[in-house]
Amino acid sequence: MMLERTWKRILRRKGLSLWGIPALGLWVVSLFYRLGVRLSQNAVEVRVRVRVPVLSVGNITVGGTGKTPLVALVASRLIRDEFRVGIVSSGWGRGDDTPFVEAGYRVLKLPVNRTGDEVMLLAELLPEALFAVHRVKAEGARALAETGEVDVIIVDDGFQHRELHRDLDLVTYDGAVTRKFLHMFPYGLLREPMQSLKRADVIVITRANFAPDLSAVRRRLGRINPQAALFHAQFGCGDLVGRDRRLPVKYIEDKSVFLFAGVGNFKPLRRQVQALAGDLDYALELSDHQEYDEGLLGLIKRRVDEFDSDVIVTTGKDWVKLGGFDFGRETYYLAQTVDVDPGEEKLMAHIIEHLRLQKRKD
């Protein structure tokens, strides 16, 4: 947690400062990281092909770009159209490395340290889907295909997983990320060079409403990959979801709110909640995929008590890891909505057409 916080401070430095000294070290490390990425891309070949259409939803930056809500959107639409959906995940952050294949409604009965936070949240949103959690995504896809119970497989965060053949690569690109951060990790946020977007079949610019210049982002991506279908999306706020009730977000428009979350990109979330709340008392940024124990939960409770906030708000990924902890006041997670332009219907039609999906005959 301390390392991540320090790394973010270095990246967010402004002008000339002492943070420029460790930044130079990160730049040197990034050169080796770039070389490692290039060597691994040249070394890895497609070894696993399955007899089920495979869609990868990935990105090229570290941190959150909105993959999870987009996976949920695409999967829910496919399920609504009566396709049997399988989802592959590595279960990032889980403590138990044992692979498993389970339906979403069964995943909900497992401890979150066995599933990972993203899988648990997706299972809550998609109880009908079949989940394969495996450290090696290609093996997870193989396990799903061998069940004979899925018509399409969605690989969560699969763009860098070259071992598995994909029929369609959808890449999310965070429009809120400025060019200052578009350097190779750890000097910047890039997991691989921008030119890697040439492999993408579909690019979705997420958080488009926070992009400093959306037209410039579209032009740049179009120059890199003019063949890719280009969409953009923005995330809205659905409802506030608690243990036993669901409320519209306007509920907090006259409330004081304490926000905490461990997400890759905290700033847009803070801006969202600040716009919704009567008063945002405090916004506590934690590490991405933050692990919660009694000590941290107690610390958060004490901080909330200091501000005497009316309501606590967090994200779905954090909510599933709280273990029912009682903060002594109303606590909700913010359900997200996804608004796709030029339209959700066009995105789904493009996916279904290119995956050649056909409904099963009863």
- Please write the tens of the pLDDT for every residue from 65-118: 889 999 999 999 999 999 999 999 999 878 888 999 999 999 999 999 899 999
Q: Is residue 124 domain-shared with residue 207, that is, in the same domain?
A: yes
- Least confident residue range of 154-158, 234-238, 272-276, 294-298: 234-238
Residue 215 burial by Cβ neighbours in a 10 Å radius (0-12, 13-18, 19+): exposed
β-pairing, 229-241 vs 246-248, is antiparallel
94 vs 277, more confident:
277
Quick: pLDDT tens for 216-254: 999 999 999 999 999 999 998 889 999 889 999 999 999
pLDDT at 362: 58
Q: Is residue 189 domain-shared with residue 105, that is, in the same domain?
A: yes
Q: Is residue 158 domain-shared with residue 265, that is, in the same domain?
A: no
pLDDT at 210: 87
CB within 8 A of 44, min separation 6: which ones? Answer: 162, 163
How far apart CA 29 and CA 358 sit, in angstroms, is 47
Residue 211 burial by Cβ neighbours in a 10 Å radius (0-12, 13-18, 19+): buried
Q: Is residue 122 domain-shared with residue 220, that is, in the same domain?
A: yes
Residue 253 placed within a domain:
yes
Q: Which of 334, 330, 338 is nearest to 315 (CA)?
A: 334
| CATH (domain of 265) | 3.40.50
Over range 150-164, report the average pLDDT.
94
Residue 205 placed within a domain:
yes
- Least confident residue range of 31-45, 118-132, 316-330, 337-351: 31-45
Q: Is residue 227 domain-shared with residue 136, that is, in the same domain?
A: yes
Residue type, 16: L
Quick: pLDDT tens for 34-61: 999 988 877 777 789 999 999 999 999 9
pLDDT at 44: 74
Q: Is residue 197 domain-shared with residue 61, that is, in the same domain?
A: yes
Place of tokens 């399988």: 86
Return mean pLDDT, the chain. Answer: 93
Q: Is residue 230 domain-shared with residue 242, that is, in the same domain?
A: no
pLDDT at 1: 61
Q: Is residue 82 domain-shared with residue 194, that is, in the same domain?
A: yes
Q: Is residue 163 domain-shared with residue 215, that is, in the same domain?
A: yes
pLDDT at 309: 97
Furthest C-alpha separation in the chain: 67
Using a pLDDT cut of 90, give the percent of the chain over it: 77
Residue 298 placed within a domain:
yes
How far apart CA 129 and CA 123 sit, in angstroms, is 7
Q: Is residue 34 domain-shared with residue 97, that is, in the same domain?
A: no
Q: Per the structure, how many domains does the chain have?
A: 3
Residue 316 placed within a domain:
yes
Residue 269 burial by Cβ neighbours in a 10 Å radius (0-12, 13-18, 19+): buried
Full domain range(s) for residue 252: 237-336
Residue 294 burial by Cβ neighbours in a 10 Å radius (0-12, 13-18, 19+): exposed
Q: Is residue 85 domain-shared with residue 224, that is, in the same domain?
A: yes
Assigned token pair, 298: 């107690």
| CATH (domain of 98) | 3.40.50.300
How far apart CA 302 and CA 298 sit, in angstroms, is 6
Is the alpha carbon torsion for 16, 21, 22, 25 positive or negative? positive
Q: Is residue 256 domain-shared with residue 227, that is, in the same domain?
A: no
Is pLDDT of 17 > 90?
no
pLDDT at 46: 79
How far apart CA 163 and CA 43 sit, in angstroms, is 10
